[in-house]
A and B are shown apart, each in its own frame.
Chain A
């Protein structure tokens, strides 16, 4: 059991809509994993499921989540809280909303740290002017500052696993990098594993050890960051990397992915990407792909082996 986090075949429904359709993810202790996907791909649901933080409308239909070997879905409330307190940390997308708006920052930290904790030190650790920030209310902070506070709160107990759901999506580019610096530095220092949920494949690839790409509620490809970005094994990964305007060379027309992302209301009969996939065959529509090892990556694609080499051209 050297894996810190194991998600196996997780299926989650919201009412009739299917958010996760059998997602698998593994994170080893001390590693940083970027989970990339577009909206609706299920990455936020996956993030919430890791901490068993799903809203009540969500139903776990199948699968399992283990953190440090403990089966999250079966834990009793008190054990769950103990585990969250000791081993998990969460950072969310909207930094200001993730702080209690009615409470000064210092007091919020004090509540988390307990009477003996050093509020000033924890604020200083995330690069904040403790004296000024501690007495401020969240709405008086900038987004970047608030996110640092949220990070301080999440990292206060030096968790084993930090789940960061688009922590910088609402921040400006310059601030973004600095906040990420703080997160990764603190994690490295504490030996914390990171699961970073993002829609930005290049950004994730730059910082993480490994990348997992989600589509249609499944992790369709995972592997070392450089490999996934450099030599995608799944046609979707390749298309995603290729369609970003930022990647386009001057004067070259973009090659968009045709069609639209899937909306699932039950298990996908085949590969969810099939309708948009230029390489799709008949079986892709009717047969759910099983994981295939291609190079250093695991991919959910019937044709992954055939396509080695072809996809690189796209990127």
Chain B
């Protein structure tokens, strides 16, 4: 296996992401206190006892932001795992087998693709009832078309490679060919697209919660917090600055990391026109 060597910017992205994960893990043990507890007066600026201020119910913002990061990251990554698993399955099958199966899968993908993401998400949320499950399902449905397409394209390329043909000639059956040869070799595509899907997921979760269809308070997610903070922007800007910054940071670092990952898996030359 080649060593995964990344450029400094991507490493910074990764570090940033790890920091956020650490923050999220902290919320599991209530490192900064119970996110739901009313600890002080309402709408206080940052100060001792509430390092990021208090919200409109007198709760400390810091543990809420931590919980929010946790919820959002957990939801998005769980969704991306589901997307990755489904895309891998469908994409590989469609790409390797082709034919009617390919047609069917790709048509379903096209149908999903034709929905504007947030409209799709709202519909899902309305059906599943707002909440984490809806947010998760929405992220999956929103991210699955692109990933399936790309996995399929990668699988088509892999299917034509000699080691696959050699395995078929050796008498290997479909599960073995797909599992040992095709899947591991589209894993790079899945990893790269997975990071992008993660950032899309975070964004979708935010948008959905923003519209009130996603994670429901009192549980905090970045979208929920930004939604709440948004209304208090004038009187209590600290309510939105924390979650807003974290959201942008999360998406940015994931994208930057994804770019680095892609440069790694699909290195490309650059040429001068001079």
Is any CB of A less than 8 Å from a CB of B in the complex?
Answer: yes
Question: Which residues of B sit under 8 angstroms from A81, Cβ to Cβ?
Answer: 274
Kindly list chain B residues whose C-beta atoms are within 8 Å of the C-beta of A80.
274
Asked if A57 and B274 make an inter-chain contact with CB atoms under 8 angstroms apart, the answer reads: no
Q: What 0/1 readout, one digit per residue, does chain B (4-41) give for beta carbons within 8 Å of chain A?
A: 00000000000000000000000000000000000000
B270 in the interface (beta carbon within 8 A): yes
Query: Looking across the interface, which residue of chain B has its beta carbon closest to that of A56?
Result: B270
Mark out the residues of chain A between 56 and 81 whose CB falls within 8 Å of any chain B CB in the assembled complex: 56-57, 77, 80-81
B272 proximity list for chain A (CB < 8 A): 56
In the assembled complex, A55 has its CB within 8 A of some CB on chain B: yes
| Size bracket of the A interface | under 10
Rounded to whole angstroms, the CA-CA distance of A170 and B270 in the bound complex is: 25
Check B274 against A56 for contact (C-beta < 8 Å): no
B271 proximal to A (CB < 8 A): yes
CA of A57 to CA of B271 in the docked complex: distance in angstroms? 8
Residues of A within 8 A of B162 (CB): none
Q: How large is the interface on B (under 10, 10 to 19, 20 to 34, 35 or more residues)?
A: under 10
Point out the residues of chain A lying under 8 angstroms from B271, CB to CB: 55-56
Compute the total of residue contacts between A and B using a CB distance below 8 Å: 12
Within 8 A of A (CB), among B34-76: none
How far apart are B267's CB and chain A's nearest CB, in angstroms? 9
Determine how close the nearest CB of chain A comes to the CB of B254; give it in whole angstroms: 27
In the complex formed, the residue of A with least CB distance to B273 is A77
Q: Nearest A residue to B269 by beta-carbon distance?
A: A55
Nearest CB in chain A to that of B270: its residue: A56
B270 lies within 8 A of A55 (CB): yes
Q: Please name the residue on chain B nearest to A81 by beta carbon.
A: B274
**B117 CB, nearest partner CB in chain A, Å:** 32
Chain A residues whose CB sits within 8 angstroms of the CB of B274 once the complex forms: 77, 80-81
In the complex, the chain B residue whose C-beta lies closest to that of A80 is B274
The docked-state distance in angstroms from the alpha carbon of A81 to that of B272 is 13
Which residues of the other chain, A, contact B269 by a CB distance below 8 angstroms? 55-57
- Shortest C-beta distance, A82 to chain B (Å), equals 13
B271 — nearest CB in chain A belongs to which residue? A55
Q: How far is the CA of A77 from the CA of B274 in the complex (A)?
A: 6
Of residues 24 to 64 in A, which have CB atoms within 8 Å of B's CB atoms? 55-57
Q: Which of B260-274 contact A (CB under 8 A)?
A: 269-272, 274
Closest chain A residue to B274, Cβ basis: A77
- Give the distance in Å from the alpha carbon of A77 to the alpha carbon of B273 in the complex: 10
Interfacial chain A residues near B270, Cβ < 8 Å: 55-57
- Tell me the smallest distance from the CB of B205 to a CB of chain A, in Å: 39
Instruction: Identify which of residues 74-104 in chain A touch chain B, using a CB-to-CB cut-off of 8 Å.
Output: 77, 80-81
How far is B273's CA from A80's CA once the two chains are assembled, in angstroms?
A: 11
Minimum C-beta distance from A193 to chain B (A): 25
Give 1 or 0 for each of A261-294: 1 = CB within 8 Å of chain B CB: 0000000000000000000000000000000000
CA distance in complex: A80, B274 (Å): 8
Q: Give the Cβ gap from B266 to chain A, nearest Cβ, in Å.
A: 15
Name the distance in Å between B148's Cβ and chain A's nearest Cβ: 28
Interfacial chain B residues near A77, Cβ < 8 Å = 274
Q: Which chain B residues lie closer than 8 Å to A56 at the CB level?
A: 269-272
Which 7 A-B residue pairs are closest in the complex by CB-CB distance? A77-B274, A56-B270, A55-B269, A55-B271, A56-B272, A57-B269, A56-B271
**B: which residues have CB within 8 A of A?**
269-272, 274
7 A-B residue pairs with Cβ-Cβ distance under 8 Å, sorted by A, are: A55-B271, A56-B269, A56-B270, A56-B271, A56-B272, A80-B274, A81-B274
